[in-house]
Amino acid sequence: MTLTAAYGLLAHGLIFGAFAALLPLGEFRPRVGLAATTIALIGGIAPALHGVFGPPSPTLLLLALLQLANRTPSPLTWPIARGLLLFAPWFYLPALGAGGFDPYALGYQPWPLLAALAPVAAVLYWKRQTQWLGILAVDLASYAAGIHANLWDALFDPLLLLLAFGLGCRQAYIAFRLRQLTAKTGS
């Protein structure tokens, strides 16, 4: 088994466990998360996820680990999720064939991308975003270790976008319920 495959299988097991830990089960959530991780690893769910999606980004893995460790609130806040969702079409559509420019190709010789991450890290430091600074460090370390051949894959992945989309849906639902509540209170 390659390092990338081992990483992918373990990471998908943990991500599946973290999703299970989102269920409203009160104090049992961490235990449910760990049980779901075990089931995913030995029950074929993690290999199936790896088979379809490939190795996930360390960003998603670390968000999952924070969830499993019951470290709330998650650093993936709605403004960050919204930023990801706004960026995604500009990246994925050309990378999947639309137009003559392929932004994914920048991730093979990522000198400009890495240079651009330095000021991003400075802003995170200035804003005291310790968790995001740490996540970015692990992303780069995984690229440096050769787990990902392309830097983009170390930063984000389609499952992370799915999570951001889910967050957006939740946000929209909360806003909808608030409006309903306000309307009822008003009447």
Partner 1 sequence: MSNAHAPAACGRSQLLLRLAAVAFVGALAGAFWRIPPAPAPAFAPPAYTPPGTASTPLPAFFASAQLPQAAASAHAATLTTLPDGRLAAAWFAGSREGAADVTIWLSRLDKQGWSKPQALANRESTAGAVFTNIRKLGNPVLFTDGQRVHLWFVSVALGGWAGSSINHMVSDDSGETWSKPTKLVTSPFLNISTLVRTPPLPLADGGYGLPAYHEFVAKHGEWLRLDRDGRVIDKTRMAHPVRSLQPAVVALDEKRALALLRDAGPGPGRIRVATSNDAGLTWETGGAAGEDLPLPNPNASVALLRLASGRLLLAGNGDDGRTHLHLWLSADEGKSWTLARTAESAPDGGAEFSYPALLLGADGRIHLAYTWRRQGIKHASFSEAWLDGGQP
Give me the sign of the Cα torsion angle 101, 103, 105, 109: positive
* Contact status: 118 vs partner 1 (CB under 8 A): yes
Cβ proximity to partner 1, 21 vs 41, nearer residue? 41
Gap between the Cα atoms of 75 and 167, Å rounded: 12
Gap between the Cα atoms of 40 and 26, Å rounded: 21
* Contact status: 140 vs partner 1 (CB under 8 A): yes
Structure tokens at 65: 């680990």
Residue 46 vs residues 8, 138, 177: alpha-carbon distances, Å: 8, 22, 35
Using CB under 8 A, pick the residue from 27, 96, 112, 186 that binds partner 1. Answer: 96
* Contact status: 48 vs partner 1 (CB under 8 A): yes
What's the min distance (Å) between Cβ of 31 and partner 1? 27
For tokens 């830990």, name the residue.
Answer: 21
* Contact status: 3 vs partner 1 (CB under 8 A): no
What's the min distance (Å) between Cβ of 39 and partner 1? 19
Cβ proximity to partner 1, 112 vs 186, nearer residue? 112
CB-based contacts of 183, cutoff 8 Å, min separation 6: none
What's the min distance (Å) between Cβ of 116 and partner 1? 11
Residue burial 56-94, b: 16+ Cβ < 10 Å; e: rest: bbbbbbbbbbbbbeeeeebbbeeeebeebeeebeeeeee
Contact by Cβ (8 Å): 136, 120: yes
Using CB under 8 A, pick the residue from 15, 21, 64, 136 that binds partner 1. Answer: 136
Give the total of residues touching partner 1 (CB under 8 A).
Answer: 58
Cβ proximity to partner 1, 21 vs 76, nearer residue? 76
* Contact status: 1 vs partner 1 (CB under 8 A): yes
Q: Which residues bind partner 1 (CB under 8 A)?
A: 1-2, 5, 8-9, 47-48, 50-54, 91-93, 95-102, 104-105, 107-111, 114, 117-118, 121, 125, 128, 130-131, 133-134, 136-141, 143-146, 148-153, 157-158
